[in-house]
Structure formats: C-alpha cells, structure tokens
Amino acid sequence: MSRVAVFASGSGSNAENIVKYFSGRLSSDDFSFYCNNKNAFVNERAKELGVKITLFSREEFYNSDIIVEQLKKEGCEIIVLAGFLWLIPDNLVKAFKGKIINVHPALLPKYGGKGMYGKKVHEAVVENKETESGITIHYVDENYDEGKVIFQASCDITELDSASDVERKVHDLEYLYYPKVIEQLLKLD
C-alpha cells in the first residue's frame, strides 16, 4: 500500500528529499514513484531508497486508465508532482480531485503555464530583473499551474544573481517547504 505517489521526470532530488523527510514515520513501502522517462535519474534514486517505481508511456498515461487503476489499487492518498513535466490527464484529475499537488519554481501566477519549468523559469526571472522569486505549492487541475494555491514562499533576488543562483535559492525553498505541506495534507503532524 503506497500512501504517497511521487511523479517525476528528471533527477528526482525532490522525490528523494520527500522520502527522507518522512524517514522514521513512513517507510519506503508508503511511497511509490512514477516516471515517464526510463533514462531519468529518479529511477536510480528509487532503487537506492527501496521505493517501488513504475515507468509508463505517453500512451498508457493519456489513453488508458492503467495509471488511475494502479494508484487506486495501491491505496494512494496523495499524488505529489516533483519535476513532472506532462500535463495531468482529465481522468487522473477527476479520480484524485483535491489529492494532486505540484510545486512550481516561481510565485504563481507569474512564470507559470506550458513550457515554464526548471531553468526556463529562473532565466525569465533574471531577465525581467525581478527582485524576488520563490515557490508555489498548488492543487493540480486540468491546466498547467492554475490550481488553487496551497502555499507560497519567497526569496530575495539581487541584480548580481544568475539564473543558477536563483535556481539554488528556489530549490532550497522546495526542499524545506514541500515535505511540510505534504505532511499537513496527510495529517501526520
């Protein structure tokens, strides 16, 4: 039984941070990772952490109920997007309404929407000479980055900060706050 399903497309550093945050309260069996990229490093992290990982294709994700049925069978209580780059399909949103969350690397509604992820966000923040950036943790709906905001945290940006500097500051916020919000939603505190 996996209470927390973490969807990731890349390195999985947030996924690993989440599992480690709950160490001692939840076991690796309480988590499952889902990945749409067989070459993503999150697959290695899952093995190291002893977390079950499910790889899936675009066809399985968008044109079937395979993922929805597996999540239900696992007893999933919350779906956590951690660097997952695909739009969540309607069948998954409907089956887990109010139970899918995402962390976005900016203060929404700024720098959100299709194509705004990772370094692209931080480059845009620097290019536009913003004085702050941050994270937005929000519920997921049928559109990119438009779900109800749960939590935001900000960090100061200086004119000397590069996109990499902003990325580091934002990652620090993600690592600090994302597990805490998940904890509150799971009512473990």
Residue 152 three-state SS: strand
Would the annotation count 143 as a binding residue?
Answer: no
- At residue 187, the pLDDT reads 86
- At residue 79, the pLDDT reads 98
Would the annotation count 14 as a binding residue?
Answer: yes
Domains in the chain (CATH in brackets) are 1-97 (3.40.50.170), 104-189 (3.40.50.170)
Would the annotation count 164 as a binding residue?
Answer: no
Between these two residues, 2 and 69, which has the higher pLDDT value? 69
From the candidates 104, 122, 138, 171, which is the catalytic residue? 104
* Residue 148, token pair as written in the block: 């109800």
Residue 189 has pLDDT above 60, yes or no: no
- At residue 168, the pLDDT reads 98
Residue 23 has pLDDT above 90, yes or no: yes
Residue 91 has pLDDT above 70, yes or no: yes
The CA distance from 181 to 189, in Å, is 10
Question: pLDDT tens for residues 126-182?
Answer: 999 999 999 999 999 999 999 999 999 999 999 999 999 999 999 999 999 999 999
Clarify whether 104 is annotated catalytic: yes
Would the annotation count 58 as a binding residue?
Answer: yes
**Contact by Cβ (8 Å): 137, 151:** yes
pTM of whole model > 0.85?
A: yes
**Contact by Cβ (8 Å): 103, 81:** yes
